[in-house]
Amino acid sequence: MSVSDLDAKSRAALLLAQGVGSDKAGETVGVSGRTIRRWREDPAFEGQVQDARRAILAEAVAALGAAARAAVETLHAALTEDSPAIRVRAAATILSALPGLAEHADLNDRIARLEAAATEAGAA
């Protein structure tokens, strides 16, 4: 396999991970959609697509985390605004988020306990 094939496959994997269809990804990298579909039958290539998807998701989560931090800081600052209406709205927004955060924390704890139990059961 030539380097250009690897480059085309890497680009195609990234395009597929971004949600581009096989035909469009093939057209973009210079192969047919049929070739892309054949590549997808290869577990190594499909793994490359999944790795690219995970990287894209991790980047999106990091960006959302940064945006969430800025949003919380904005709401926190709004709690000291002169306008009572703004303070009340900020407080209500913060309080409305608490049940979801508590549920998320509970799910994380439950998953951690399940993973620990599965690891322990696997070691036995």
Classify the C-alpha dihedral 48-50-52-55 as positive or negative.
Answer: negative
Residue 78: CB partners within 8 Å, gap ≥ 6? 86, 87, 89, 90
In this prediction, residue 1 carries a pLDDT of 47
CB 25 within 8 A of CB 15: yes
End-to-end, the C-alpha distance of the chain in Å comes to 44
pTM over 0.75: no
Region 55-79: what's the mean pLDDT?
A: 95
Which token pair is 52? 């690219």
Question: What angle do helix axes 33-40 and 3-17 make, rounded to 10 degrees?
Answer: 80
13-64: pLDDT as tens digits:
999 999 999 999 999 999 999 999 999 999 999 999 999 999 999 999 999 9
